[in-house]
A and B are shown apart, each in its own frame.
Chain A
């Protein structure tokens, strides 16, 4: 009942509830499929220490964890949470708090998104630019084809360039190719 109320409240202030779960197992599966900006937990239902619970979840450690309290709860046990939502909070207070907390983490995310190619990705890029197939690259670098393909995906995501011809020009413009080749 409280959950529905909370959901409606989130909706009113422009946030989306991506999923709701009542046990850790299901929650852990959820994190494999959707990206959440915040995790809200009722501390009364958490039977183990919070850090142990979080270890069980395949979740980005930058995702903040909020406690949802319905009644008095010992403050020392709430200290481990990033923020506390009180069920009596107004829309406005909740909205402000979310904007504050999530605005910060979103900013961090943008800044830490790294578009620099790693050394390994540069090795792969050079071989792609020279016209080698993924299988050949895997043999040359002693890695699996699967790994080569995932490097190629990252190279394309970071550079914005999809075609082999385009990647060859990128490598040239960035002085990754020897001039005699």
Chain B
């Protein structure tokens, strides 16, 4: 677990995935030896929130404390989550789709099955993110303002928050194990991109499940 006095570069060196956070928070590079606290100050980012998400990315055993939860800046957190969704939908998934197209082209008639699988997955991911942005986040904002809301959105989020990473890792299983003769180079490139994206998606889901949900419980108490 890192603290505000650690250098930003130290956490990035130990856990490279933390660089993904920088553009989502609007932190520019060239931060030298500055601490997390200093970098956040300079870029007008709530340091507690940045530290919390960095710790979630850097440490699989990290638990969000009540104290940290109390200080969550909801507006900035939603902005962060929206930017993450944009990154997945507009950058990472199209990138993986380009690899998959080449894989599918080498898989003869089985390629169609793969393309269709990925198309369905893209639609499902888009639906997932849209539902969060258009239904879940607004409801939580209203609750935080003390307004009365229909909590059905939150109940259904709590009960079925899809694991998007599972379908991506299933795609790699299908390609590697069950389609003989598929192009190895494109398949490998796709695999590595999926591994990195899945780690990101898992951490993203942890923020939603272990920060947003407890946050809701905290403010409704």
Contacts and interface: CB of A to CB of B under 8 A. Distances in A.
Interface of A: 159-163, 165-166, 169-170, 172-174
B177 interface: yes
Range class of the B interface residue count: 10 to 19
Given A159-B173, A165-B121, A172-B113, 14 more contacts: A160-B173, A161-B173, A161-B174, A163-B167, A163-B170, A165-B167, A166-B174, A169-B114, A169-B174, A173-B110, A173-B113, A173-B174, A173-B178, A174-B178
Contacts, number: 39
B166 interface: yes
Contacts of B113: 169, 172-173
B170 A162 contact: yes
Mostly helix, strand, loop or mixed at chain A's interface?
helix
A169 B110 CA distance: 10
B117 interface: yes
A170 B173 CA distance: 10
Interface of B is mostly: helix
15 contacts: A160-B173, A161-B170, A162-B166, A163-B170, A165-B167, A165-B170, A166-B117, A166-B166, A166-B170, A166-B171, A166-B173, A169-B117, A169-B170, A169-B174, A172-B113
Nearest to B174: A169
Interface in B126-173: 163, 166-167, 169-171, 173
Contact of B178 (A163, A165, A170): A170
Contacts of B117: 165-166, 169
A77 to B, nearest CB: 50
A161 B121 CA distance: 15
B171 A160 contact: no
Contact of A163 (B114, B166, B177): B166
A162 B178 contact: no
A49 B124 CA distance: 62
Contacts of A170: 174, 178
Interface string B8-42: 00000000000000000000000000000000000
Contacts of A172: 113
Contacts of A174: 178
A156 B112 CA distance: 23
B105 interface: no
A85 to B, nearest CB: 40
A173 B179 contact: yes
A160 B167 contact: no
